[in-house]
Structure 1
Amino acid sequence: MSEFIGELITLIIMGFALSMDAFSVGLGMGMYQIRLRQIFKIGITIGLFHVIMPLLGMVTGHFLSERFGDIAAILGGVLLLILGVQMIWSGFQEKENSVFTPAGVGLLLFSISVSIDSFSVGLTLGIYGAKIVMVILSFGIGACILSWLGLLLGRKVQGWLGTYSEALGGSILMIFGIKLLLL
């Protein structure tokens, strides 16, 4: 039971870290006064992509771990480190403000862009044999809630929090990458 709780807490923290880019982009997008109905749709769509992408990654990771064993486990830890560094780096880069409507193809592209990193983390979790249902629920629910929060807060504040939230998410992923490499 203690192992279950520990894994659940770890997955919730990882889901939070992965959802920080959706939160930070949502902050900026929310400043364009998107209607509440659209905010609801955006959050649900991002949540679904944060279920699909890690699921695909986990299936791939499970396959790789069966084929390559310890090498795949080391690569999984390194992948989390690289992803964390990339998130921190991109969080402090100047971003162009591209205004597009988060509907139709624009919403799909937005959802893919903020959930692609969850494929990589899913790959690592598949290598380590994490529980699929716990992963996809933690990631999907976390992404949905943080997207809604970012979009709603974006209606109220300027973008001062976005850079720091993405850097925080990257730091959390780096910590888990180091933890996996040291075990």
Structure 2
Amino acid sequence: MSFAEIWLLAVSLAIDCFTVSVTSGIILHRIRWGIFLKMAFFFGLFQAAMPLIGWAGASSFNHLIEAYDHWIAFGLLAFLGIRMIRSHFREDEEQCCFDPTRLSVILTLAIATSIDALAVGISFAFTGFNTLASLSYPLWAIGIASFVISVTGSIIGVFFGKRFNLRMELFGGLVLIGIGVKILIEHLLQNH
């Protein structure tokens, strides 16, 4: 893979992180650097770790991972999306189920948005990345791109949330479910 191809791959893997970060920024309505950096860190970490796991397990677990990864991603994103939609229709904001400041929510989102990266790691094993050293640059690129794009998305979300006074739990829930459906459909169509 060329330098440009690695960075294009890294940015394309980070698009789901960007979308989730924008939604979280809109929900928070203000810049919260600690939360944004924590979210970006875990998004970058999981986006970089999943290809490593996929690469390492490609030879022995390839058939098991590819058979279920899209269902896992869909299930996690649909679960969070439904919780966000439910919180939109609740009268009392304190009863909100989707709280992007909670570590458990951040970790769930990081795992769900990085499932595609697992499949990329599997493909790395079959496209000439034979050693961990050869894989280190793409992993760093993926992690850095996801981190930067996530922070940028959170800030953009805050700007739009303030500017248009948006309450985005409904939209955010639909976006999460949409990302899950997209992942599911892409994988199902690939196998046919």
Query: Do they fold alike, i.e. is TM over 0.5?
Result: yes
| More off after superposition, 82-91 vs 143-152 | 82-91
1:181 to 174, 177, 191: 191
Secondary structure, aligned partner of 2:111: helix
1:123 to 118, 123, 129: 118
- TM-aligned CA distance change 1:7 to 1:174, over 3 Å: farther
List gaps (5 residues or longer) in structure 2.
88-94, 126-137
Structure 2 distance, partners of 1:72, 1:12, is: 27
Structure 1 distance, partners of 2:112, 2:150, is: 12
| More off after superposition, 42-51 vs 21-30 | 21-30
CA deviations 1:116-142 (Å, max 9, x no partner) are 224433322221218323322332222
Aligned to 1:112: 107
Structure 2 distance, partners of 1:7, 1:144, is: 21
- TM-aligned CA distance change 1:27 to 1:72, over 3 Å: same
Structure 2 distance, partners of 1:101, 1:85, is: 18
Structure 1 runs of 4+ aligned residues shifted over 6 Å read none
Structure 2 distance, partners of 1:100, 1:79, is: 25
Q: Normalized against structure 2, the TM-score is what?
A: 0.65
Aligned to 1:159: 167
Paired residue total: 168
Secondary structure, aligned partner of 1:158: coil
Identity %: 12
What amino acid is aligned across from residue 13 of structure 2 in structure 1? M
CA deviations 1:51-89 (Å, max 9, x no partner) are 1112332222112103234x15633xx413542465356
Aligned to 1:51: 44
What amino acid is aligned across from residue 57 of structure 1 in structure 2? M
Secondary structure, aligned partner of 1:155: helix
What amino acid is aligned across from residue 15 of structure 1 in structure 2? A
Shift of residue 171 of structure 1? 4.2
What amino acid is aligned across from residue 86 of structure 2 in structure 1? E
Shift of residue 49 of structure 1? 0.9
* Aligned Cα root-mean-square deviation (Å): 3.4
The reply on whether 1:61 has 2:54 as its aligned counterpart is: yes
Structure 2 distance, partners of 1:24, 1:152, is: 11
Aligned to 2:155: 148
